[in-house]
Structure 1
């Protein structure tokens, strides 16, 4: 038999191990090449440059995709080499040298890799237009995307995939060269680490693992709070949270799961069912032995879900973020821009106009926020904040039901980010200073989620709503740069395009001053362009991470199913039915896929919760959508794993 015939017979024999690996490799190559092709697509590049969105992010994300692909291929190849260790040992027993075995595996991997890369690049090219259209849709860009083949993208991909193949062959060569004949026959039975008898030390480590995760979660909730962390030790706190969470995750899989399962098993006082034997006992030892890989999968899952959630929060909050920057469709300051109103009338564009009078006041930091002595070390409590004041009569134009007594004020329009870092409190007195007099006022109410002044007027500071009499006194004492704001909302959406052209032309000709004062649509379009680009690239990364972690879990379950084949044969011979065996397997698979996923989602939840408000105004809906997507995809891998086990159990007799 020639070496070529032996290669194809070996590939045919191992197709049950390789088929999902082959398709996963094709899908990985498809994602990578599609992303690179989009990067060099002239239609996409032109559209991104026109919207002012940077394209440099494509290059960096491409390298991240390469890293994920390399990690996945090397890890999966290691698992399959482990599964084929007995086969390689038999080759040595019949007289084949290690060099000849390497040549056999070299040809096999070159054929497999070449087919996967070829098919993946074809699919990547064909699907690149589809993904590019998704990108344009996310950015609300109507540009027509054409299917474009880039020689630059093709040559870069060929070089990267060729280097990856070389790295895989080097990995195989090292594994074959270092392995002894005895180790090859026992390799498939080895877990990540040697399993020892459960002891008091293991119990203590299990409790510590749970404690470290709990500490990481608790500290993350205080990361950006004034009481819990400051800018001086923010990096240290972040590293501490990351380290304790990762170490705690490893100890959880290594010891805590075994501790919990031991407690469950002891609670049954020796009366174990077949479900307990196939579920509880195997979970206890398998998770304990594969702690390293499960920790890596959990961390990758949490990282991917967290990144995708933050990107979606930014995209989902594009409208509310634009409203914070420009609460009205158009804003005119200091009665500047009457020409704009006249042109709107000339064009027959209907609109609603709301005028607000503005004055400035000075407030001490110590009056606005509760800052103790510890925080005073980092924040100057005597520092004064300049903020805007608006008369109650103007504010009633948007909220007619508000009433204030003498000496009472309201605070509103406070930035979402600042409101999380330094929250305001109502039902307290503050001192408001002008150049002539100080006023002691009582804060009746704080409304942080309401915005009606331009950022140029309020500068993200809280806006004070005061009675008209007090406002007139403040107005006499102060001479603010901005004294009025006119908010304009269009009556009909169909008129927006014409109104935008009029406003931009007047701004460019300096008829409307404050050149950096943008319209609501401009803020919204900028947010959509940036966040749409962000969610697109993070979606690619999320798919790559999902493919990697889900496939690795499935490959490991395939290996475990093969290892347990003899056990199922024995259980069938002593009278257990397929259904009884499968019930235990269902429990096992629920834990094998559900536990890393659940902990990964918890990691992402607390990571996102610690600073989600830096990205947008809504967390719950984006997080639920991303989590549901990940759970659904993991469920698919879990079902595939159960089906493989079902096949093994049926073949047990």
Structure 2
């Protein structure tokens, strides 16, 4: 019998023991193949206007996915091989040469890899069609995906995973040469020393995380510490302090708190808390690195997905802010204006809510007095009268009005950014038309506009008297604004209007900005969400594997508890507490890190991210809870199987 046939027989007879490892590989292949299939999908390339951009985004994300999947498979393989060290030691004890054992391990791992590859590609082919439809939906397209297996995606996946499988197989082959026989038999006892606790290091860990949080929450535009340290160095300092602080927090502070809990006699001697507390104390050191990785990955995932979903969630409001009118353009030709009105009037998919012809002045203004950090000293402002503003806010159903007199003015700046934009209120500018020059003072600032941003840019509202005075000296620029129903489905109408308008009409529409935003943010949220779910599944699986490894070591201990009369209900409660500690620690720390990161992002963008972030955290926690209950039930079955 050859070593290859022995390897096949081992897998067939011990498939139950190999199942977790094969399942983790299948999961990785399904995810990667599905993701790569989207890059090559014909439906996406035929439907979208930016297939090149989508392909580039998927290329970049697939590199991240390859790295992560490789690490995940390596991690799963490490747990699998560690579980088999005693078996390998037994082979050596029976006189099988190291070279032969190594070859057998290599064959076993390679066979499982090929098996997982076939299953993964089949499942991935089915799932990829669902994800194509989902991607089209979040990007705002209605498209039906035809079932087709991409040969390029298959070859890409096969090459990547044969390479990963070969590397992990060589790793398994080398296992036999790295350990002495006695080490293989004692492998299960590694990491069973009680961890030491240091009050000073525990406080230092909190201090490190606190420094990272403090730096992250600084106002970037005003912070002296960011300027002194540099905008390239400070983020690295934040990463180092938070990651190091997290590791010390989970390896030292938790031990310190568990020892305080052990001194609480009322809790420690209650039921079998002595078992769960003692096991956590002995194993927390071995778990610290894993928990740190999971906490950092959870924070990264929540931050990335939360930020991506925030962009997607706010897309409509951003498009409405930039385009308060459904459509707007500079009216230079009456015939063209009439054609546009006829097009909109006869379109059965839309009805006109309002149509306004807006008299404006477009003046070059010196804004040196406004101390702007993002624009030059000369900008073009669109000037409108007070009555025009009041009419438009009524049309747009904004609960607002202005009553300007004399040389008072109000700024309408939809792209206003605190700390960078001009300081309007209280400042004075000069409006010059030919030989007329009028100094106006800003009394109000509105962080929105009643004219579309692309057509009119920043708008200044002046009193009716002053507008009439300026208009007598300048040529009026008439702009037409339409408000209509179903503006987010005006694809054909928008294209028809654009085709008859000259470029200098500065045409803008809600649909154009909304559709572009849906496409870009939809792609971001899809990739972010997809990778986020992969990271979540992987981190949950890592804890799952780790706990199952410990469960196999605990069988004898729980068997003794059963023999001295401890009820199974108490055993399950003890397991639930122990596993909850391991699951909750990285989750709480990860959520805390992501909340700080997203708060900093919210301040930087000056956008409210509360709702989308809470939704992301809620989904993340729900999936994590499912992993927790799965782990508790499986752990319980393993430690009680001999008591049935």
Deviates more, 1:497-506 or 1:626-635: 497-506
2:583 paired with 1:593? yes
8 Å contact from structure 1 (residues 490, 496) kept in 2:
no
SS at match of 2:526: helix
Partner Cα separation in structure 2 for residue 236 and residue 599 of structure 1? 24
1:576 alignment counterpart: 566
- 1:402 is aligned to 401
C-alpha distance after superposition, 1:460-502 (max 9, x if no partner): x5x444433344566679x79x955432122566994563243
Pair 1:624 & 2:638 matched: no
In structure 1, the partner of 2:504 is 513
- Structure 1 CA distance, aligned partners of 2:173 and 2:533? 31
Deviations 1:492-539 (A, max 9, x none): 6699456324312113xx2x5246x44221221111111222222222
TM-score by length of 2: 0.87
- Tell me, in whole angstroms, the C-alpha distance in 2 between the residues paired with 1:48 and 1:4: 49
Superposition deviation, residue 90 in structure 1: 1.3
Residue 386 of structure 1 and its aligned partner are, at CA, apart by: 6.2
Give the 3 Å change call, closer, same or farther, for CA 493–404 of structure 1 in structure 2: closer
- Deviation per CA, 1:603-639: give whole Å up to 9, x if none: 2222222224777955223222222222122122211
SS in 1 for 2:627: helix
> How far off is 1:8 after superposition?
5.0
Q: Distance in 2 between matches of 1:384 and 1:232?
A: 34
Distance 1:177-1:487 versus aligned 2 partners, 3 A rule: same
Instruction: Give aligned pairs, total.
Output: 626
Give the structure 2 partner of residue 452 of structure 1: 450
Provide the rounded CA distance (Å) in 2 between the counterparts of 1:134 and 1:385.
43
What stretches of structure 1 of length at least 5 have no aligned partner? 370-378
Residue in structure 1 matched with residue 634 of structure 2 by the alignment:
644
Change (3 A) 1:408 1:591: farther
Question: Aligned equivalents of 1:302 and 1:526: distance in 2?
Answer: 29
CA distance in 1, matches of 2:324, 2:451: 7
C-alpha contact (below 8 Å) 1:388/1:457 kept by paired residues: no
Q: Structure 1 residue 286 and structure 2 residue 266: aligned?
A: no
The answer to whether the aligner puts 1:526 opposite 2:516 as a matched pair is yes
Q: Which moved more, 1:72-81 or 1:230-239?
A: 230-239
What RMSD in Å do the two structures reach over aligned CA positions? 3.3
What is the TM-score when the length of structure 1 is the normalising length? 0.86
Change (3 A) 1:465 1:304: same
Match of 1:357 in 2: 360
| 1:169 lines up with 2:169 in the alignment | yes
- Residue by residue over 1:23-81, the C-alpha shift from the partner in whole angstroms, topping out at 9 and shown as x without a partner, is 22212111211222222222322223467744212222222222121111111101111
Give the secondary-structure state (helix, strand or coil) at the position aligned to 1:35.
Answer: helix
Change (3 A) 1:271 1:527: closer
* Alignment of structure 1 residues 358-377 onto 2, 5 Å: 358=361, 360=363
1:423 positional shift: 7.6
Q: 1:264 to 1:363 in 2, by over 3 A?
A: farther
Deviates more, 1:215-224 or 1:30-39: 215-224
Name the structure 2 match of 1:273.
270
Q: Which residue of 1 aligns with 2:97?
A: 97
Kept after mapping to 2: 8 A contact 1:220/1:606: yes
Q: Does 1:430 align with 2:432?
A: no
Q: Which has the higher contact order (CA 8 A, sep 6+)?
A: 1
Q: Would you say 1:253 and 2:250 are equivalent positions?
A: yes
CA deviation after TM superposition for structure 1 residue 550, in Å: 1.1
8 Å Cα contact 1:312/1:622 also seen in 2: yes
Which residues of 2 match residues 148-167 of structure 1 at below 5 A?
148-167=148-167
Tell which deviates more after alignment, 6-15 or 171-180.
6-15
In the TM superposition, 1:220-369 aligns within 5 A as 220-222=216-218, 224-227=220-223, 229=226, 233-268=230-265, 271-274=268-271, 276-333=273-330, 335-336=331-332, 338-347=334-343, 348-349=345-346, 351=352, 352-354=354-356, 355=358, 357-358=360-361, 360=363
Q: Which residue, 481, 489, 493 being the options, matches 1:487?
A: 481
Residue 253 of structure 1 and its aligned partner are, at CA, apart by 0.9
For 2:341 and 2:508, how far apart are their aligned partners in 1?
Answer: 21
Match of 1:634 in 2: 624
Q: Which is further off, 604-613 or 535-544? A: 604-613
Q: Decide whether aligned partners of structure 1 residues 583 and 382 sit closer, same or farther in structure 2, where only a CA change above 3 A counts.
A: same
Separation (CA, whole Å) in 2 of partners of 1:181 and 1:365: 80
CA contact (8 A) 1:409 1:467 kept: yes
Q: Aligned-pair distance for 1:4? A: 5.7
Q: Is the 1:320–1:617 contact (alpha carbons within 8 Å) kept by the matching residues of 2? A: no
Structure 1 residues 52, 92: closer, same or farther in 2, change over 3 A? closer
In structure 2, the CA distance between the partners of 1:405 and 1:52, relative to structure 1 (3 Å rule), is same
Alpha-carbon deviation of 1:585?
A: 1.6
The Cα of 1:225 is off from its aligned counterpart by 3.9
